[in-house]
Amino acid sequence: MDMFIKQRIKAIKKGDQSAFADIVEMYKDKIYQLCYRMLGNRHEAEDAAQEAFIRAYVNIHTYDPTMKFSSWLYRIATNLSIDRIRKKKPDVYLDAEVSGTDGLTMYSQLADEGASPEDALESLELQQTVQEAILKLPEKYRTVIVLKYIDELSLQEISDILNLPIGTVKTRIHRGREALRKHLGHL
Amino acid sequence: MPCSEKIVQWMHDYFDGDIQKEEEQQLRSHIQQCEACREHFYALKKTVAFVENVSHMTPSDDFVKKVMYNLPREKRRVRWKRWFTHHPFLTAASLFILLSTSSLWAVWQEDNEFSFSKQEHLIVQNHTVIVPEGKVVEGDIVVRNGNIKIEGEVHGNVTVINGHKYLASAGEVTGQIEEVNEVFDWIWYNVKRVGYNIAKTLTK
């Protein structure tokens, strides 16, 4: 796995684009997921994730092999998402309110273990509520919560990605969790 | 409200998965006794479960294609290299053609010394071979990188490679007269010569 990535990176550094397609294929879901939960909008997430990969390709020479490649990629995507959040006009949040349900239909919900329509609706609403709660978090808490719970990364990896001490990462996760609890704890 | 900062810190350590055994036991026993802390703990637990189980989103099907399409164009050298490794036969063929034409070209370029076939009566003046007036040359004449001036008679063929022929009104050539000044003419001349030699040996 690591060998495979190293090989691909070598080829990319020589300018072989087809080697990069393998990298994109490998990480697209994780990176998209991160962007989606950070930005709360399918279209924007797709755009941001694509830009993240393009930036990684262009800046591949700055990649430091002592760092995990995935961490480097996550760092690019995280910084890009934060930039976009900062540039966003507040009114875009109106759009984000329904975005938690993007791509989820009643049918896809029903297909899950034959859940009753009531359950499906409930879980659809829940999806929306959770996404809204994540989007309400200030960006520094949102970042760590998404990396930890959506992309399922370890505290050490998050600390590498954000270039922050583990203690700071923990504090942010704690605060993020408390903030989420206020929205979700009573459900 | 939970009882103390310490208890809340323990809860978070618990969710981070790095709580000490003793602290975890203390936390458990405290939660059993204190309702406020119990509520807080279960609210956090529920929150974590909600966030962890939020549905996975996937990018569009042509995501990879779109990324690849938007990359800056790759270096030409790499494209060629890949093409070569994917088409070994064509590579070998083009390499062969390249080498053979370049060697021919090299021979054509290097071979620029003045020379001519030795025959009787010929006079040489400044890279010009002269067949003097009233003399008869029996046989073929080939002149390389020089001119030929024919004032007498030649009983045979005359070939000038990389030069010119001058035929005086009195001059006469019984065979063919040819000037070869371009590399393709020269190749054609060589091909013809080889063919002629083969024919000659066959008819012998």
In this structure, what CATH number is given to the domain that contains residue A34? 1.10.1740.10
Tell whether A181 is covered by a domain. Answer: yes
Taking the Cβ of residue B71 and every Cβ of chain A, the question of whether any pair is shorter than 8 Å is answered with yes
**Cα–Cα dist B1/B85, whole Å:** 70
Q: A8 and A81 share a domain? A: yes
Contact state of B78 with A16 under an 8 Å Cβ cutoff: yes
Q: A95 and A148 share a domain? A: no
Quote the strand ranges of chain B, DSSP E.
115-116, 123-125, 128-131, 136-138, 141-144, 147-150, 153-155, 158-161, 165-167, 172-173, 177-180
Tell whether A117 is covered by a domain. Answer: no
Q: Would the pTM of this model clear 0.90, i.e. be above it? A: no
**Cα–Cα dist A101/A124, whole Å:** 7
CATH number at residue A150: 1.10.10.10
Quote the strand ranges of A6-123, DSSP E.
none
Tell whether A147 is covered by a domain. Answer: yes
**A11-25, A161-175, B71-85: least confidently modelled range:** B71-85
Q: How far is A56 from chain B (nearest CA, A)?
A: 10
Q: A91 and A141 share a domain? A: no
Tell whether A109 is covered by a domain. Answer: no
Q: A13 and A66 share a domain? A: yes
Sorting pLDDT into bands at 50, 70 and 90, what band is A185?
A: confident
Q: Note whether ipTM > 0.90 here.
A: no
Residue in A closest to B52 by C-alpha:
A149
Of the three residues A99, A121, A150, the one that is the final residue of a domain is: A99
Of the three residues A99, A126, A148, the one that is the final residue of a domain is: A99
Q: Examine the pLDDT at A53 and tell me if it is beyond 80.
A: yes
* Residues B115-168: tens digit of each pLDDT: 888 888 888 888 888 888 888 888 888 888 888 888 888 888 888 888 888 887
**pLDDT at site B77:** 66
**pLDDT at site A120:** 54
How many domains are contained in chain A?
2
Tell whether A62 is covered by a domain. Answer: yes
Q: A94 and A155 share a domain? A: no
What residues of A are in contact with residue B15 (Cβ under 8 Å)? Answer: 177
Boundaries of domain holding A170: 137-187
Contact state of B74 with A17 under an 8 Å Cβ cutoff: yes
